[in-house]
Structure 1
């Protein structure tokens, strides 16, 4: 019997047939703990089947069907190691996953920051999970749910990793004091809606009270200092932390846009003056 070339098996065939991906974010976040099937080491991040002995990755590549493999990968309770690494562009989601690990009593929790441009330059295969779900003809509700999930095939090389944040019990206690919403066990959509209440203004318009941007910046600078040098040194922390945490209107009026500009200026000026110059 003829042996198929490796690129012609079901899963690689599906990956080749996917549409061109949506624009990739600048950074992706991966949350892990010491017992994760996906392993994090100084050499990079390795998917569950890559890390297992016995050419497990290659066996899955050749024998698994896409339906079977991705059903296991997207099942949070599945113990089946897969060929993919799930990441998110949402810092809030990465933190939520870390908080869940902490509540389950897991140790060695960390968030790894991946520079997407460096990953592309070093020939990583990155796929949007929503495209896979649609290709498998699953429910559109599932497709929407996976919009903010990006999959790396096999591994993430060390050259694409720009920062790793180690999170311990003291960090989670600090986080829950700074953002009390994390004291509640919420689904991501609920967390997105509720965490805005931990800021000076849950709905940022109109910009009526003084020092709102400054007060929020002080809170975010405190968090950034705990998260380490990458988060402090990144030029636009506003995008990484604030825009992903607070609620924003899509249909802003002209006055609201002006308010946003004023808030953002106050936020960035105060943040830059509050970040600690030395990692602690």
Structure 2
């Protein structure tokens, strides 16, 4: 069994997002260690993706971030995105919600993936072979010469994930990673995320799919316009949630048809320290 030194890879302190009209994302703080996962669950428009872009330093013009974050020991002011740009791909990586945004439409898929490996330090020939190996592992060996615009949503998502992981960044942020995937490829992508945890990545996942959070064994945070709540994902084991899962995420009662959030005893074991 591989030993993972569970030191903090990502520490977030009072991270928030605002515009000229007021606050868009309430302050949030958490610490994420190597080999650990945290999942953000919430409805559309609640600010989950804003948090991801605030962490990456890629907020749209007119929005500003506040607070601080520390990535693998390097402290950054959230208001200064330049400090994170130097980390992109190597220390901090984002798989965006829309995979086409992560792909260059003017470059064929294989060359694009090979370029990322080359930027991570491989020679051109070795980078190309690694790209072919990655595509084969994704069931897409035929797509090396394809243009990104010819890919389906699921194929684009798999390629974007391979590019995101190519630089070996220890902190991985994935935004709706299973969007557009059928069940087979969703399970395959979850397995790849689990593998990333197994080699010591810190994983922050944004999703509507509670099954993904459960499969990753992650602590979860519920994001809404009212703020944040936190707990542990429900699993069929002796580890119980810290807090009730929001009622709309529980299946309806077979007799009454009503959805009921259930409160269970507090579980002391956690995957991430959440303030």
Q: TM-score range by the shorter chain?
A: under 0.3
| Larger gyration radius, structure 1 or structure 2 | 1
User: Normalized against structure 1, the TM-score is what?
Assistant: 0.26
- Higher strand share goes to which structure? 2
TM-score between the two structures when normalised by the length of structure 2: 0.26
